[in-house]
Structure 1
Amino acid sequence: MRVTLAQLEAFFWTVQLGSAGRAAQHLAISQPTMSLRLKDLAEAVGCELFERNGRGLRVTADGRALLPRVEAIMAELRQISGRDPHLDVAGAVRIGLAEGFAVTCLSPLLTALQEDYPTMQPEWVVSTSTTLESALMRDALDLAVLLNPVGDDRMRLTPLGAQPTSWVAPATWAFGRAVTPKDLQDLPVISNPQPSAMHRQITGWFATAGLEPARLSLCTSVAVIAELVAGGIGAGLLPVRMVERHVAAGTMQYLVTNPTVLNGRLYVGVRTGVDDPKTRAVARTIGRVLQSIDYLQT
């Protein structure tokens, strides 16, 4: 049996949309015709290309291996026909964002994705980086922007750059010099719980002086921590861009510290072995947006 362009197109759009039914609707063909094309392609290449995943389909390892070659063929067809390549990135994609990053970057990122890929349907999950890592590795996310990830062989990380980070405190707190771990040890400090990147950063900073924060309060929301600091409750370690409005309003101050704070490192994470057009498209748009809003430290 020979491979046809109709079969390859059926395979491509089923991967993109995650469902043979949605692919059939997109191509304006019947469900039985779509199923037959996928069946004939699997027989022609001699391997199973999809496996059931709930109500949808998931690409097999053999299907992932075939996908780049099919994408290349589709790209050639687009060039021949003059078709907009952005229209070939469609369907749902599950994107996780570390919360401190999302507060500043989600709005411009959502706008950019709508402009770049109007038929894409992003599903956003905002949480701590540690929670997102776990979700990514159990296939509950397709892609995530992670802060200081622990890393795992099941995950491929691509660095984005440094996220400027600073100790911040209520504007009413007075310090006459660079703040040390000893200065903050007995003051209220607010952090995400273990094993979050924020908690590791905070305890690591105190550990440089052999100390632990004596009045550490835990909160799962980075955005709420910022509000608590601005409300005079305690100090926190937060992304600089996230708290600019509080500093400008005069309710919060950046602290000059000794030792200095290490900036967070941002990465795009995907599962090892996954090479999907939608995740690549999202990653490209993330990089472009971060450059356009000058978010990362050079």
Structure 2
Amino acid sequence: MRVTLAQLEAFYWTAQLGSAHRAAQHLNLAQPTLSLRLRDLRAALGSDVLERRARGLRLTAEGRALLPRVASIMAELRGIAGDDPARDVAGPVRVGLAEGFAVSCLPPLLAGLQQDHPALRPEWVVSTSTTLEQALLRDTLDLAVLLNPVGDERLHLGPLGAQPTSWVVPAGWGLAGPVTPRDLWSLPVISNPPPSAMHRQIAHWFGTAALAPARLSICSSVAVIAELVAGGIGAGLLPVPMARRYVVEGTMRLVAAEPAVENGLLFTSFREGVDDPKVLAVARTIGRVMRDIHYVQA
């Protein structure tokens, strides 16, 4: 049996939309017709390219290898027809965001994706960067924005720039700065748990003076850490854009540090070898939005 263009089109849209039902609707086909084309493709290739999961159909390893080749064929067809490629980026995509980044950047990212690819259906996961990195490796996320990733050769990293970062303290503490590790080591400090990027940044800064914070409290949420600092509980290390609202409210102060705090480095990340048009489209939009809102430094 030969592989046909109709079979490849059925496979492409089922992979994009995660459902044979939605793919049939998109192609204006009866679902039994689309299912027949998928069965014929399986017979022609001699292997399964899709498998059923609890939340719909997912690509097998053979399907992931095939999808980039089929996407190229679909792109050529769009070029011949003169279609807008943005219309063909559709369906669900699982996107993880480091929490400190998400607090400031998720609203413009939502608007940017709606503008660039209105048929995409992003599913957002907000957590610590190290948790997101592990989710990428487990294939439970398609793409993530990571802060100071640990790094794994199985992941592609696309640099976005530096996220401005600063020590923040309750306004009532009266610290003027620049603060040194010796100034803060005996005061309450709140951090994400190890091995998070925040915890590594804090440990490195205190380590420059061969110190460790004596009153370190652990909290898994960056947003809650900001509330705790604003409430007078302790000092923290936060993205500057996230802290500005509290500074304007008068509950928190940014303090300069000696030595200076290293800014966090942000990356888009997905598994090496992935050529899914949805993933690449989201990565492009994230880069564009970051440039438009001037969130990162070079």
TM-score by length of 2: 0.94
The aligned residue for residue 295 of structure 1 is 295
CA gap 1:119/1:177 in 2 versus in 1, 3 angstroms = closer
Q: Distance in 1 between matches of 2:221 and 2:278?
A: 28
Q: Please give the secondary structure, in 2, of the residue aligned with 1:123.
A: strand
Q: Which moved more, 1:184-193 or 1:60-69?
A: 60-69
**What percent of counterpart residues are identical?**
70
Structure 2 counterpart of 1:296, one-letter code: V
Query: Aligned runs of 1:58-137 on 2, under 5 Å?
Result: 58-137=58-137
The aligned residue for residue 236 of structure 1 is 236
* Residue-by-residue CA offset, 1:23-80 (whole Å, 9 max, x unaligned): 1122121222112212222333444322333352222333233222222221222233
Q: Distance in 2 between matches of 1:168 and 1:69?
A: 49
Long gaps (5+) in structure 1: none
Q: Distance in 2 between matches of 1:105 and 1:256?
A: 24
**Per-residue deviation, 1:242:** 0.8
**Per-residue deviation, 1:92:** 0.9
Structure 1 runs (4+) deviating above 4 angstroms are none
Q: Distance in 2 between matches of 1:87 and 1:175?
A: 53
The aligned residue for residue 54 of structure 1 is 54
Q: Distance in 2 between matches of 1:95 and 1:68?
A: 20
Q: Please give the secondary structure, in 1, of the residue aligned with 2:172.
A: coil
The aligned residue for residue 44 of structure 1 is 44
**Per-residue deviation, 1:176:** 5.1
State the Cα RMSD in Å: 1.7
Q: Distance in 2 between matches of 1:67 and 1:97?
A: 25
Long gaps (5+) in structure 2: none
Q: Please give the secondary structure, in 2, of the residue aligned with 1:28.
A: coil
* Residue-by-residue CA offset, 1:192-211 (whole Å, 9 max, x unaligned): 11221111111111111111
The aligned residue for residue 143 of structure 2 is 143
Counting matched residue pairs gives 298
TM-score by length of 1: 0.94
CA gap 1:55/1:290 in 2 versus in 1, 3 angstroms = closer
Query: Aligned runs of 1:1-298 on 2, under 5 Å?
Result: 1-175=1-175, 177-298=177-298
* Residue-by-residue CA offset, 1:123-156 (whole Å, 9 max, x unaligned): 1111111221222222221111111111223322
**Per-residue deviation, 1:171:** 2.2
Q: Please give the secondary structure, in 2, of the residue aligned with 1:131.
A: helix
